[in-house]
Amino acid sequence: MRPIPAPVKRSATLALILAVLAAVPVFGQSAEAKPPLDEASWSLFQRIFGMVLKDYVDPKTPDEVILGALKGAASSAGPECAYIPPDEVAAYRALDRAPAALPIYVTKESDFAKVLASYPGQDLSIHPGDALRFIGDRSTYDLTYPQVLEAMRGTPGEKVRCIFIKQESWQSYTVTLTRQTPAPPRWLPLGNGSGALVLPCLEAPLPPEVSRALAGAKGPVVVDLRGCAADDARAALRWAGDLLGKGQGPARKGSKGVVHDPLAGPGLLAGKVTRVLVNDTTARGGEVLALALAGGGALLAGGPTFGWAPYSQDFPLENGGLLRLNTAYFLTPQGEALDGHPVPPAIPLAFAEGAKPEEIYLQTLKAQPPAPSPVIGKGDKVQPNPASGGLKDHGR
């Protein structure tokens, strides 16, 4: 086998990303318990590296093999983890400033991107769990999660032909989607001073008129988080501050133990009777916000959430690239990591097919918790956040 022709800086880049991956423990595991990369593993990688360069049928450059190794090592850490090469960092950092995107939320692990939820008013044939196979002419199979997000971004109003695969039957189907800005929050009056805050996207700002309606509501309020699956937990915490005011956010646990992020904001719902409508399309940031509101005294209603809410961080690398890793999971009221553990509603609800939004929200407000109330924490009831002013709820 010929010597590895990679320059020293390539080895340093690989050693850096492998060291970072080795240092980031899985949920509940301390950094000390994570064994360092051993000499045998490093030698095995060097051997495979050389064999690919020497024996693979299509010629590969050392740079190509190093890039593939970096991407593979990062993606092996878990869903939505990725290595972002230096020449893609600017595009990645510009994702939040993109004017529009396809009106769906997706996640990405080892194969095709998967649909979590759709914006309101989209094609009903797109179901959560369906695979997003193509965005235009780009297959999502070999894309990293950041590359999928970049492919979804573009000009408002631009139509994109997308190919999906049904989760149940594996049949392909095609839908033409229109890139659009995030769906803005809406206020729907329900009479007698009550209303519903419809919040499908955490990325959109709170319109002044909706803020005034929330602050002026005299009756109970429904917060509709169905379809809310933004991947930005920090945006969820900002919304929690806007709605709850000063206090502590829901717990998240990583290698450094349990952390509660501080909340700050006007507290537009503080002291108000509040129900939070959720289901299996409430995921990631939507679940974080639901947990924060429940911690402030609201009751969750509807169906179980999706059950996956990681906290991601970007680690700068010496070569100018970035490593995106999930470093913690938010916790359910029972202390379970939101990694395959949906949050059950305190008030299970089913709605008639074709029911109007007003009917759904009024049913949500009228419903009472089953007796005896389900245990959702250490006690028998939701513990209000003492620093938030607390939310009130019927039947508590």
Q: Using 50, 70 and 90 to split pLDDT, how confident is the model at 14?
A: low
pLDDT > 60? residue 386: no
List, in order, residues 6 or more apart from 156 with CB less than 8 Å away.
Answer: 99, 100, 179, 180, 181
- DSSP class of residue 86 equals G
pLDDT > 80? residue 385: no
Q: Which of 236, 186, 232 has its CA nearest to residue 209?
A: 186
Domain boundaries, the chain: 8-77, 91-178, 186-312+327-366
Tens of pLDDT, residue by residue over 373-382, are 455 544 434 3
- Give the separation between CA 306 and CA 227, rounded to whole angstroms: 10
What's the whole-number average pLDDT of the chain? 86
Higher pLDDT, 77 or 241: 241
Q: Using 50, 70 and 90 to split pLDDT, how confident is the model at 44?
A: confident
Q: Per the omega criterion (within 30 degrees of 0), is the bond before 372 cis?
A: yes
- Give the separation between CA 319 and CA 149, rounded to whole angstroms: 23
- Give the separation between CA 173 and CA 171, rounded to whole angstroms: 7
C-beta pairs of 378-386 under 8 Å, 24+ apart in sequence: 382/294, 382/295, 382/297, 382/298, 382/299, 382/333, 382/346, 383/295, 384/295, 384/296, 384/297, 385/244, 385/247, 385/248, 385/295, 385/296, 385/297, 386/247
Is 3.90.226.10 the CATH number for 186-312+327-366? Answer: yes
Tens of pLDDT, residue by residue over 299-317, are 999 999 999 999 999 999 9
pLDDT > 70? residue 321: yes
Q: Of all helices (H) and strands (E), which one includes residue 173?
A: strand 172-178
Higher pLDDT, 124 or 207: 207
**CB-CB neighbours of 123 under 10 Å:** 14
List, in order, residues 6 or more apart from 47 with CB less than 8 Å away.
Answer: 1
Place of tokens 């004017």: 99
Tens of pLDDT, residue by residue over 114-156, are 999 999 888 889 999 999 999 999 999 999 999 999 999 999 9
| pLDDT reported for residue 380 | 39
| pLDDT reported for residue 88 | 95
| pLDDT reported for residue 140 | 98
| pLDDT reported for residue 393 | 54
Tens of pLDDT, residue by residue over 347-368, are 999 999 999 999 999 999 999 9
- Is the C-alpha dihedral spanning 218, 190, 246, 290 positive or negative? positive
| pLDDT reported for residue 37 | 63
* CATH assignment of 91-178, among 1.10.10.10, 3.40.109.10, 3.20.20.450, 2.30.42.10: 2.30.42.10
| pLDDT reported for residue 178 | 96
- Give the separation between CA 126 and CA 104, rounded to whole angstroms: 9
Q: Where are the alpha helices (DSSP H) in 24-159?
A: 39-55, 62-75, 89-93, 145-152
pTM of the model: 0.85
